Amino acid sequence: MMRVARTYRHLVAASGAMLATGLLAKKQLSTSDCAATTWPGDSTNYGPGSLSGCTMVVFGGSSGIGLATAILAAKQGANQITIVGRNEERLTSAVKEIKSAATSQTCTVSSASVDVTDEAKVQQFASTFEDGSVDHLVTTPGGSARLGNLIANNRSCDDVRRQFNLKYFAQLAPVLAMSEKIKDHGSITMVSGILSRRTGRGNDALAVSNAAIETTVRCLANDFGFDGRQVRVNCLSPGMTLTPVYGDSDWVKDYQHRSAAAVPLQRNGKPEEMAHAIAFLQTNLFVTGITIDVDGGNVIKP
């Protein structure tokens, strides 16, 4: 397939909490040979797409599930990967790790420091991409506002909005800002979490934020599907996964031990297992609007 070289401008990072936008780098961006977005192609080919040659943007790509997703894409021959987070050091180290996993000689890996809770900054970042230049968008950012049970803790709507900013809007902002940048037949994958279906009694507003992501995915899958662009939109719902998000205090170790014992597969998940599921969602061309549970059986336990 013909490659058309384009130049694009990249936003760059910040000092301290402030994001300094600017033209720090000019890079070559090629239209990709990604099989996932060259569909329908050969009408006899009903097999899976491939990440080979694709361009991917991973919000939250400097750690945990997002980093594992970027590394897997690099291993599978992605041609251009951009990761987004806030912390510069983590971004730099992640870029190195992703680059060293790349199997394509021409794979470029870059990063941008953007706080996804600042929608204007996310839009500014998105504006540095050409329309229709991204095969796959992944959004993983999401923190807990630690509100606990809403009634017992006498929480307000403002408290819940804080949680929505940290998880729901943190992923919705990149999806809305990047929507025109995604190629026809490309994909969007958002990340919710086990709490949406196993709500428990300890983090109500995060459970609701996760559910909002899953419902948004269904709405957008309809919108993109019928509007002719056929961008596929899906969601990964992880169970307890061993990522840096939890730290390694004794309390955390005990909590993770109990979480493992409470699911049928008797262990916690690995970021690589989450990345594997995201790659499935990106490359199975007949999947849209779904949430896939990768949780050791948590959802179905008695």
93 contacts 100 by C-beta, under 8 angstroms: no
137 closest CA partner among 26, 224, 8, 45:
224
290 contacts 263 by C-beta, under 8 angstroms: no
68 contacts 38 by C-beta, under 8 angstroms: no
How far is Cα 165 from Cα 168, in angstroms, rounded to an integer?
A: 6
Binding to ligand NAP in span 183-202, by CB under 6 A: 191, 193-194
Nearer to ligand NAP, 42 or 89 (CB): 89
Shortest distance in whole angstroms from residue 1 CB to ligand NAP: 32
- Near ligand NAP by CB under 6 A: residue from 238, 285, 293, 296: 238
- Near ligand NAP by CB under 6 A: residue from 79, 128, 241, 283: 241
Q: Which stretch binds ligand NAP (CB under 6 A): 27-35, 146-154, 217-225, 235-243?
A: 235-243
Query: Sheet of 55-59: strands edge to edge?
Result: 108-113, 80-85, 55-59, 134-139, 182-191, 232-238, 291-294
Shortest distance in whole angstroms from residue 110 CB to ligand NAP: 15
133 contacts 118 by C-beta, under 8 angstroms: no
86 contacts 115 by C-beta, under 8 angstroms: yes
65 closest CA partner among 266, 242, 261, 250:
242
Shortest distance in whole angstroms from residue 65 CB to ligand NAP: 4
Q: To which residue do tokens 């428990």 refer?
A: 200
Q: Is residue 66 close enough to count as binding ligand NAP by CB under 6 A?
A: yes
Q: Give CA 96 to chain center in angstroms.
A: 19
Six token digits for residue 30:
């090629």
Q: Is residue 115 close enough to count as binding ligand NAP by CB under 6 A?
A: yes
Q: Is residue 245 close enough to count as binding ligand NAP by CB under 6 A?
A: yes
- Near ligand NAP by CB under 6 A: residue from 87, 93, 124, 199: 87
Binding to ligand NAP in span 131-190, by CB under 6 A: 140-143, 170
Size of the site for ligand NAP (CB under 6 A): 27
Q: Is residue 53 close enough to count as binding ligand NAP by CB under 6 A?
A: no
How far is Cα 238 from Cα 195, in angstroms, rounded to an integer?
A: 9
- Near ligand NAP by CB under 6 A: residue from 30, 93, 117, 149: 117
Shortest distance in whole angstroms from residue 113 CB to ligand NAP: 8
Q: Is residue 291 close enough to count as binding ligand NAP by CB under 6 A?
A: no
Nearer to ligand NAP, 53 or 85 (CB): 85
Residue nearest ligand NAP, CB atom distance: 64
Give strand pairing partners of 110.
82
Contact footprint for ligand NAP (CB under 6 A) = 60, 62-66, 85-87, 90, 115-117, 140-143, 170, 191, 193-194, 238, 240-241, 243-245
